[in-house]
Structure 1
Amino acid sequence: MRKYDAIAIEKLQKGTSIIENNGIPVILKPSPGEERRGYLDPMELSLMGDHWAGRSNGVEPTEMPPMEVLIPIMRENMGFPNYNLNTVEIHTKYEEITDSGNKVGLWRYYPRKSEKNPKRPALVFFHGGGWIGGSVYTVENFCKLIAELADAVVFNVDYSLAPEKPFPNGLNDNYYAVKHVYDHAEAYGIDPEKISVAGDSAGGNYAAAVSLKAKDEGTPKIAMQVLIYPAVTMADAKVEGYEWSEEFFEVSEEHKDIIKSGLLSLGRPSKMEENLFLGAYISNEEDIYHPYVSPMLAESHVGLPKAILAGAEFDGLRVHTEFYAKQLKEAGVDTTCIRYKGMTHAFIDKLGYVPQAEDLCIEIANAIRKL
């Protein structure tokens, strides 16, 4: 079930253009319902009030309730009810692994018709949610659609959340989940040379960090990293050449108040004590500068797996996304960077409501098929 016409997907697939940012090419995906510059996509705009990423409650930091009260509220409000767009039967399996020392749920999805193929590609996905929330269920339909389109086995990791399990718990859960998949590739019927990792927002941070850790450890072998509006630096940590400014966002006068009232807050440099998510995720302020927390700060990005980075035009993390693409490309990594015009943070949560989420599934699946 879709809330848009198939022609919207055709426009997104065929109506792209190339712009340059930070000296690298960025694929600009059009907004099917809005051609003007600086305007939100109409469907995205209509849904914003119902999605956690687009809400602004007007509460000043000094009025915030204590973390133990606030975090359950935030968890409850994360995600968006999306649609299953599969057209073939998808098998769903569940298991629990403990390789990291935590009990971690590992879901996997694959088309029934490909069950006897012993060399399928695989994707291991890490959901978003600011390291403190989010759910495998929010991204389940997104993962299942990629499984169908790529004829792949897609794993969905139910990793530990902060503050109950701070850094490096979630990172280790995700790293060892990928290693588990790699070590048991034959049993899962997948090709160990074609295992990719992916994630959105905090999950994108994990995908980047897991790729760095896998390079450092020499295992598992990762063929591709897919970073969807990833957070790649924390608080006010940065490297030479990196800057963040609202001036980087072209905003129409008509939508200025909506966009600047909260949509650009993610990724904006801040002090650690001002960042609820970060304060819950890391216990030691020095960890801000750890490359597994802030992948932008890694000593070297040479030798990392090929990458797809996808960002939303009106998301503060777009600056992270496109700068990290520059870092990877300059390190010799095969890198593709995509910007979705008119879109905001967490748009993949709205699969079936906005065509951009489905289009990104197509882009990821096509890349997996080419591995």
Structure 2
Amino acid sequence: MRKYPLQHLEQLRTETSMLPGKNIEIIVKPSPGEDRPGYIDPAEFALLNEHWAGATKNPEEQPAEMPPIEVMLPAIRESMGFPNYNLNTVEIHTRYEELKGSGNRVGLWRHYPRKSSGNVKRPALVFFHGGGWIGGSVYTVENICRLIAELADAVVFNVDYSLAPEKPYPHGLNDNFNAVKHVYDHAEAYGIDPERIAVGGDSAGGNYAAAVALKARDEGSPKIALQVLIYPCVVMADAAAEGYEWKEELFDISPEHENILRGGLLALGKPKKLQDDLVAALYVSDETDIRNPYVSPMLADSHARLPRALVVGAEFDGLRVQTEFYAEQLAQAGVEVKCLRYKGMTHAFMDKLGHAAQAEDLCTEIAEAIKDL
């Protein structure tokens, strides 16, 4: 089920433009139905107004004192994600198992098209959902994983990793790294090509994908052929690599949309002390951890010999600055990089599969990158 015309998908494929960077060219995807600079995509804007993320609150209505995190956490987790649609046109098989190699019980879902079940050399994607390391769900990204499986004729694994603060760093990283290693070590049993395994994720999941790629390079295994980084957080709190700078002036904001953007949507990724960053402080407890490359991949001593990358940002996502900076870092280190910017979109737009054409287009981009392996 789609809530947009197929024409919007065609526009996203054919009406792109190029934005030159230092080491890369950023492919800018259009905002169907909105040509004016500084405006949120019309479909995205309508969804934001219906969803909690688009709500702006009067500061006078805010509580004088924030409730304890134990009280806030269930509500924060409940608010994450967006109900989306199944766009599959073929039968997708789904299987489930549990892994324990990381010391935690980790659910591993896998999706693949029934028609290709006899193909023993399919590519694979191991996907890590977003949710700020403290929330999110494999169920939010299930339709996304299923669609990519169909479009790429691939096996897509969806990892139900441990969440902070109950299981802070490095639990989630270890869970995800172990899941990729498990998939690689059992490639033949899964009917996949061990030379064509990709890792990917959105937001915090993108952080995990980048960190897993770094760790796999450092340890020499498992072999990863592609990293798909969807509006990833690649630097934590106020840590920064040389040359990196976040400033609001990097965003073109229309007066009509100023309140909703400055009121919260662009705050994500804005540097702040660890103690002032609620989500980051729940994931890492030691301030020195924010400079660990497996927490802040931007700070790795070297980005050489990492797998090729598809790096995706949204125009009105506060994480866009670090997303595109990381793409530049990878390219400067000799990594093959394709960098996309979705004009008019905000953070977590991929969750809106079936509601926003950009989410479906991104699934197509990911599938094409996997097929090119």
| TMscore range, shorter length | over 0.9
Match of 2:349 among 339, 347, 350: 347
Is structure 2 residue 175 aligned with structure 1 residue 173?
yes
Determine the structure 2 residue equivalent to 1:38.
38
Match of 2:292 among 278, 290, 309: 290
Question: Whole-Å Cα distance in 2 between the matches of residues 233 and 29 of structure 1?
Answer: 25
- The answer to whether the 8 A contact 1:312-1:342 is kept is yes
Structure 2 counterpart of 1:139, which letter? V
Superimposed CA distance per residue, residues 212-261 of structure 1 (whole angstroms, 9 cap, x where no aligned partner) = 00001110000000000000001110011000000000111111111111
Is structure 2 residue 103 aligned with structure 1 residue 72?
no
SS in 1 for 2:235: coil
- The answer to whether the 8 A contact 2:168-2:283 is kept is yes
Question: Whole-Å Cα distance in 2 between the matches of residues 102 and 335 of structure 1?
Answer: 33
Question: Whole-Å Cα distance in 1 between the matches of residues 252 and 342 of structure 2?
Answer: 14
- The answer to whether the 8 A contact 2:23-2:332 is kept is no
- Normalising by structure 2, what TM-score? 0.98
Match of 1:145 among 144, 147, 156: 147
**How far does residue 24 in structure 1 lie from its aligned partner after superposition?**
2.5
Determine the structure 2 residue equivalent to 1:185.
187
Q: Return 5+ residue gaps in structure 1 as ranges.
A: none
Structure 1 counterpart of 2:359, which letter? A
Structure-2 change in CA distance of 1:122 and 1:329 (3 Å):
same
CA RMSD after TM alignment: 1.2
Identity %: 69
Determine the structure 2 residue equivalent to 1:273.
275
Structure 2 counterpart of 1:135, which letter? S
Structure-2 change in CA distance of 1:7 and 1:22 (3 Å):
same
**How far does residue 20 in structure 1 lie from its aligned partner after superposition?**
1.8
Question: Whole-Å Cα distance in 1 between the matches of residues 132 and 64 of structure 2?
Answer: 21
Alignment of 1:6-155 (within 5 A): 6-57=6-57, 63-155=65-157
Question: Whole-Å Cα distance in 1 between the matches of residues 319 and 51 of structure 2?
Answer: 17
- The answer to whether the 8 A contact 2:108-2:158 is kept is yes
Match of 1:300 among 293, 302, 318: 302
Question: Whole-Å Cα distance in 1 between the matches of residues 66 and 262 of structure 2?
Answer: 21
Tell me which moved more, 157-166 or 53-62.
Answer: 53-62
- Normalising by structure 1, what TM-score? 0.98
SS in 1 for 2:145: helix
Number of matched pairs: 371
Structure-2 change in CA distance of 1:30 and 1:224 (3 Å):
same
**How far does residue 198 in structure 1 lie from its aligned partner after superposition?**
0.4
Determine the structure 1 residue equivalent to 2:361.
359
SS in 1 for 2:172: helix
**How far does residue 22 in structure 1 lie from its aligned partner after superposition?**
4.5
- The answer to whether the 8 A contact 1:273-1:279 is kept is yes
Match of 2:241 among 216, 239, 247: 239
**How far does residue 74 in structure 1 lie from its aligned partner after superposition?**
0.3
Question: Whole-Å Cα distance in 1 between the matches of residues 130 and 218 of structure 2?
Answer: 24
Structure 2 counterpart of 1:93, which letter? R
